[in-house]
Amino acid sequence: MKYFIILFILFVLCFKARADEVNCLALNIYHEARNQPLVGKLAVAQVTMNRVEHDNFPDNVCAVVMQGFYTNNHPIKNKCQFSWWCDGKSDKPKDKQAWQQAQYLAYQLLDGLFVGIDLVEGATHYHAIYVKPYWIKKKTMVRKIADHIFYK
């Protein structure tokens, strides 16, 4: 009985961790690319996952999405890897349809549906076409997809 309880607890913890990762990835897709076509949403999601796999970034989706500088356990405004995370605005999705699409895509991506499909050629960075971040001089541009430019 003791082993059954331990296995059940491990199952519940794994299920919650999986749900958290889907939610974090969906939030990133939603806030970074909700106005993009599917290919743009998938490209943003793939960058997030490329960071998870890269040694220079945290090793889980939520830590990657929430990476930045913090004070008193709160992100410092405009000091995060993904701007929406620390822009001071509500992170609660308002566009129901875009949120459902982001959740579905996040679930499918984490479930392995897109294994072998790499739209961004291993890119770990991107920016909107209307900005020019300081770091682009140190990166190699991979491609432009919708309103984002991708780099590795």
Per domain, the residue ranges of the chain are: 2-118
Residue with tokens 């890119």: 123
User: Tokens at residue 53, please?
Assistant: 């796999």
pLDDT at position 10, please?
43
pLDDT at position 113, please?
87
Contacts 24+ apart (CB under 8 A), 55-62: 56/124, 57/124, 60/21, 61/20, 61/21, 61/24, 61/25, 61/110, 62/20, 62/21, 62/24
Handedness of CA 72, 74, 78, 83 (dihedral sign): positive
- Taking only the tens of pLDDT, the chain with its 152 residues reads 665 454 444 444 444 456 799 999 999 999 999 999 999 999 999 999 999 999 999 999 999 999 999 999 888 998 999 999 999 899 999 999 999 999 999 999 999 988 889 999 999 999 999 999 999 999 999 999 999 999 99
Q: Tens of pLDDT along 134-145?
A: 999 999 999 999
* Number of neighbours of residue 33 by Cβ within 10 angstroms: 26
Helix axes 96-110, 2-33, angle to 10 degrees: 130
Q: Tens of pLDDT along 58-88?
A: 999 999 999 999 999 888 998 999 999 999 8
Rounded distance between C-alpha atoms, residue 148 and residue 131, angstroms: 10
Calculate the dihedral angle through the C-alpha atoms of 16, 17, 19, 21, rounding to the nearest 10 degrees. 160
Give the DSSP letter string of 74-114: EEEEEEESSGGGGSSS--S---HHHHHHHHHHHHHHHTTTT
